[in-house]
Amino acid sequence: MDHLWNNGWYRFARHLASPNFGERPANTVVDLVVIHSISLPPNQFGGGFIQQFFTNQLDWDADPYFDTIRGQQVSSHFLIERTGHLWQFVSCNDRAWHAGKSVYRGRDSIERTNCNDFSIGIELEGVPGSTFTDAQYESLSSLNAAIRQTHPTVDFVGHQDIAPGRKDDPGSGFDWGRLWREFGK
């Protein structure tokens, strides 16, 4: 495993450190991967705006939409572009700011109400309801296999599953069956 990871940084990702992260609570077991979708501006791909957003470098005046997210400080562990290119912004040992208000299993249990604490966030460049590219699924499959080597009990959910009514990504265009087939489920 040491050949894949270095202090929570995946060897096969391009690293661009985000300041938007924190420490995980003590003794936290990472057991969840949250799959998201994002495009900036909406329905536009490429341009580096997502990377700028996750590193607090976005020019808020570059597009009218950016005014609606002005000042937000968010991140994800990973981003997979439409081309399949993989970026990493936060070490998997740390807590990225990707899920927001969220709950996973144990709705009555306070320790399961902030999914950022115990999850790894993966953003796919896309929009809810859109389909994703073969290159994205290939990168996602390789990344997920590497994550499972370090965190063998991890479950996979969409953002919509942990923040229902608030989030709808990755949406109906994401092929969950393809993900499960790659894991032999």
**123 has catalytic annotation:** yes
User: Is 18:40 a contact under the CB 8 Å cutoff?
Assistant: no
Which one of the listed residues 81, 123, 138, 182 is annotated catalytic? 123
How much is the pLDDT for 182?
A: 80
The structural domain count of the chain equals: 1
User: Is 89:5 a contact under the CB 8 Å cutoff?
Assistant: no
Specify the CATH number for the domain of residue 133: 3.40.80.10
Q: Mean pLDDT score of the chain, rounded to an integer?
A: 93
Between CA 137 and CA 82 the distance in angstroms is: 10
- Separate counts of helices (H) and strands (E) for the chain: 4, 10
User: Is 115:158 a contact under the CB 8 Å cutoff?
Assistant: no
Q: Which domain holds residue 71?
A: 5-182
pTM: 0.95
Mean pLDDT, consecutive 10-residue stretches, the chain (185 aa), reads 89 98 94 97 96 98 97 97 98 96 69 84 95 97 95 93 92 94 73
